Amino acid sequence: MLDWSDRHCRYLHRLLSHHALLYTEMVTTGALLHGDAPRHLRFNAEEHPVALQLGGSEPADLARAARMGQEWGYDEINLNCGCPSERVQRGAFGACLMREPVLVADCVKAMRDAVQIPVTVKHRIGIDKEESYAFVRDFVGTVAEAGCNIFIVHARNAWLKGLSPKENREIPPLRYGVVAQLKRDFPQLTIAINGGIKDDTTVAAQLAVVDGVMVGREAYHNPWWLTQWDAQFLGGAPNPLTQLEVEEQMVAYMEREAATHGTHWYAIARHMLGLRHGLPGARHWRQTWSNHRLKDLSAREVSQIANTRPSKIESM
């Protein structure tokens, strides 16, 4: 979810679900320790509960980055052992870390020693075309011995060569049964599943087998789906907001961001383009909010145009 689940995206998602745990995009230890840390760590108080996802492979650096995350107020630190991109591989972290479970265990221990908030791991079920269950079972077992109690498992292998990150989300087959077997073998651990989950039926079926479900791109492209989660899966009340009311709150947020940080509404609006997915007029609404020729207008003016019927605009 790099470049997708930034703080503006998470602000929108929190309006839609009050109880879902939100995750940041992956932030490397180098970016935090040697770059613009506030830019990467800043988040809105409304986002809680929110987890900071880290990328790295040096225990000491991860410990320092985790401590920074705790000091900034994050609720969880998550180590990414699932990203297959070549750029991440050059840094010797992401999915290639699954080949080094002892190192991952050392990283987890270092972070747990540095913070009081939970330290979790997100990973795949295998590397390349090796589909041995023993590989992921031993990885989880080794890391769990270091004190990690929560694993988010993307139910696909990560092919480190020959596939793009996008292809890695589509071509390696989904094997939900592997995640279910992990839960049977490690009943004391919290096991959440990720990968290819796009509807309530699949969520409900998985929650009958494992402890949690992580949804990424479907939540981004069809964010209104989140409004059902609190009541259906998380023990909360139904979300009372309409799409227009959510948009109005996002416009107010855009105005605050512009005044406080100089953030242009265009950088925020891109995250809500799926808000009216499948509804009449959605195409016009989406095209208006993504129209770069309207950048000189205020967010409120753009919202007014987006909510005016195209035929009415043409007659103005």
End-of-domain residue from the set 195, 211, 233: 233
What is the reported pLDDT for 86?
A: 62
Catalytic residue among 83, 96, 107, 148: 83
Do 163 and 192 have their domain in common?
yes
Report the alpha-carbon distance of residue 95 to residue 89 in Å, rounded: 8
What's the pTM value of the predicted model, to 2 decimals?
Answer: 0.92
Query: Which pLDDT score, from 0 to 100, does residue 309 have?
Result: 77
Contacts of 175 (CB under 8 A, 6+ apart): 125, 131, 155, 156
Burial class of residue 209, CB neighbours in 10 A (0-12, 13-18, 19+): middle
Q: Which domain holds residue 31?
A: 7-233
> CA distances (Å), 169 to each of 157, 163, 216, 238, in order?
9, 10, 11, 31
How far is the C-alpha of 77 from the C-alpha of 95, rounded, in Å?
17
Q: How far apart are CA 200 and CA 222, in angstroms?
A: 13
pLDDT at residue 91, as a whole number: 57
Residues 124 and 85 in one domain: yes
Helix or strand (DSSP H, E) at 22: strand 22-23
pLDDT in tens, the chain (316 residues): 667 899 999 999 999 999 999 999 999 999 999 999 999 999 999 999 999 999 999 999 999 999 999 999 999 999 999 887 665 555 567 888 999 999 999 999 999 999 999 999 999 999 988 889 999 999 999 999 999 999 999 999 998 877 777 787 788 899 999 999 999 999 999 999 999 999 999 999 999 999 999 999 999 999 999 999 999 999 999 999 999 999 999 999 999 999 999 999 999 999 999 999 889 999 999 999 999 999 999 999 999 999 997 754 443 3
Considering the domain architecture, whether residues 186 and 248 belong to the same structural domain is answered as no
Domain membership flag for residue 1: no
Strand partners, 151: 121, 191
Concerning whether 107 is annotated as a catalytic residue, the answer is no
- Could you tell me if 208 and 251 lie in one domain? no
